[in-house]
Amino acid sequence: MLKTSLREAYAKALIELGEKDKDIVVLDADLSSSTQTAKFKARFPERFFNIGIAETTMVNVAAGLATTGKKPFVSTFAMFGTGRAWEALRQSVCYPNLPVKLVCTHGGITVGEDGATHQACEDLAITRALPNMTVIVPCDDIETEEVIKKIYKLKTPVYVRLTREKFPRVFGKDGLLKELFNIDYDYSFEIGKAYKLKEGKDINLITCGLTTSQALLAAKELEEEGISASVIHLPTIKPINKESLLKALDPSKIILTIEEHSIIGGLGDAVLHALSDQDFKIYKHGIKDEFTISGKAWELVKYFKLDKDGIKEKVKKILKK
């Protein structure tokens, strides 16, 4: 199983875009070696700004640059970019609807040993609540590159959540779709679109980010046990294309959303909102209303039952009801 870095994919896409457009500028909060934006700095030092440990200032500077025609990408850890700088995002970026792209790494529990203070499990909720903000959670490196190149063209604010840990690749000739199901998926990222990765008839698994790969692994083993689960990847948390989502759902009328985020305000609630006028039984699986703990990344995924075994357990409980 090939695991790849979303951070490295981000840096690669930034440099490719930077080669074509001299108006692209990158800002970081003294974490460029971790966010990988240091690679952009090495190639375009005159268009890179290290604002220091001052995330609110960083976002405000990016907003100012955007008003001059620059195309700013802002990066730091998810906890700091969406938490510490939230007011600046609201007042300086979203209120005037400026094209600032906030691409944060180290989202979710897979930050690992840094513990609850650094594990942003509320970031999707607080960015999703902001008017004019688009919120995206890619599942692998291939999708990350596509996302960055797509949002570059938007003239509105965007939040993209990336990770510290490497994820299993989903798409491509060496991705899980090919490895597990021999599916050659013709993938192209579109904002709001729901991607039906696997057909099923007993339950719909709706996922984003890390949990997409884990849901595919779970679906493979469930299939061997006689349970047919569809896997629907929904990378855009806001906005959701309702028609696309409805088209992707199987007839079972049972949905389980799975996310590396609090069950409050993230993917699950976004799906509930989108389908509130539909006849579905919707269950949410993610981080409960609690703070997380320190540990190795993949041990935490297992502890919070977001790995394939935890997903299988949840599916079986739902289908027994």
Rounded to two decimals, the pTM is 0.96
Question: Which pLDDT score is estimated for 311?
Answer: 98
Q: What is the pLDDT of residue 321?
A: 73
pLDDT tens-digit readout, 240-271: 999 999 999 998 999 999 999 999 999 999 99
Percent of the chain with pLDDT over 70: 100
Q: Compute the average pLDDT of residues 183-208.
A: 96
| Average confidence score pLDDT of the chain | 96
When pLDDT is averaged across residues 11-22 and rounded to a whole number, the result is 97
Query: At residue 299, does pLDDT exceed 80?
Result: yes
Asked if residue 92 lies in contact with residue 60, where contact means CB atoms within 8 angstroms, the answer is yes
The reply to whether 168-320 shares the fold of 3-167 is yes
Q: Is the pLDDT of residue 21 over 90?
A: yes
Which pLDDT score, from 0 to 100, does residue 140 have? 97
Question: What are 159's two structure tokens?
Answer: 């939040």
pLDDT in tens, 213-233: 999 999 999 999 999 999 999
Q: Residue 146: which of 186, 198, 197 has the closest Cα?
A: 186
| Domain 168-320, architecture per CATH | 3-Layer(aba) Sandwich (3.40)
Q: What is each CA distance from 148 to 27, 144, 151, 159, in whole angstroms? A: 15, 6, 5, 11
Per-residue model confidence (pLDDT) at position 1: 83
Q: Judge whether residue 303 has pLDDT over 90.
A: yes
Query: Using CA atoms, how far apart are residues 238 and 26, in angstroms rounded to an integer?
Result: 24
| CATH class entry, domain 3-167 | alpha beta
At residue 280 the predicted structure's pLDDT band, cuts being 50, 70 and 90, is: very high
Could you give the CA distance from residue 70 to residue 62 in angstroms, rounded to a whole number?
Answer: 9
Task: Average the pLDDT over 31-39 and give the result.
Answer: 95
Which sequence positions are flagged as catalytic? 55
Query: What SS3 state is found at 104?
Result: strand
pLDDT in tens, 109-123: 999 999 999 999 999
Q: What is the pLDDT of residue 220?
A: 98
Q: Are 84 and 55 in contact (CB under 8 A)?
A: yes
Q: What share of the chain is helix, strand, coil (3-state, %, to 5)?
A: 40, 20, 35
Q: What's the pLDDT at 76?
A: 97
**208 has pLDDT over 90:** yes
Q: Domain-by-domain residue ranges, the chain?
A: 3-167, 168-320
pLDDT at 129 over 90: yes
